[in-house]
Amino acid sequence: MLKILVEGGVITLKSSKLVPLECVVVSGPEGTSSATKPIIEERVKVAINPEYSEQTVMIGSTLTEEGRNKLCGLLQRNLDIFAWKPADMTGVPRHITEHRLNVREGCSPVRQKKRGQAADRNQAIQEEVGKLVEAGIMKEVHYHDWLSNPVMVKKHDDSWRMCVDFKDLNKACPKDGYPLPEID
């Protein structure tokens, strides 16, 4: 479910994987028990910004043509809320986005030893950090308290995603008293 604030109220978009499953069950058997097979909803790639054809979103193919047009119109009217690159995320006041970590008293900062990376991973790290520095999201700090290594994860398109190894920082923070019972 997705709720979007618009003039005059809130629009709620609801979707269910059960609807296609119910349609298959109602249509009856066709030689095999298709109701037990997982239903994979196809998605359609739609360019929502006419000036930048690479800015696309995936929309479920179960939408009607009218529904797809309405959704694309809503997305086009609200293009300013999307961040297509790191530079698009700047300009939010610090009092809205800045937070402090709840590190337990008495825990001393941990500076992880630098881990070497393969050449292709190191190149991806340099590019990602360069983008974040250029956008003003990151800055160089010479005297840091905590230091964590980057961890590179291969994406499905063979590019790299940069993550950070926060295991030492996580150990210094208190556990959540009310963890989510099931993440699903």
63: phi then psi, degrees, rounded to nearest 5: -70, 145
Task: Please tell me the predicted confidence (pLDDT) of residue 22.
Answer: 47
Domain ranges in the chain are 2-86, 104-172
Kindly report the length of the chain.
184
Fold for the domain defined by 104-172: HIV Type 1 Reverse Transcriptase; Chain A, domain 1 (3.10.10)
Q: Which of 7-16, 28-37, 124-133, 146-155 has the weakest average pLDDT?
A: 28-37
Only one residue has tokens 């989510």, namely 180
Residue 92 token pair: 């939010």
Give pLDDT tens digits for 34-80. Answer: 445 555 667 888 888 888 888 888 888 888 888 888 988 888 888 88
Which distant-in-sequence residues (6+ apart) come within 8 Å of 161 by Cβ?
A: 152, 153, 154, 155
pTM score, whole prediction: 0.52
Rounded Cα–Cα distance for residues 82 and 134 (Å): 19
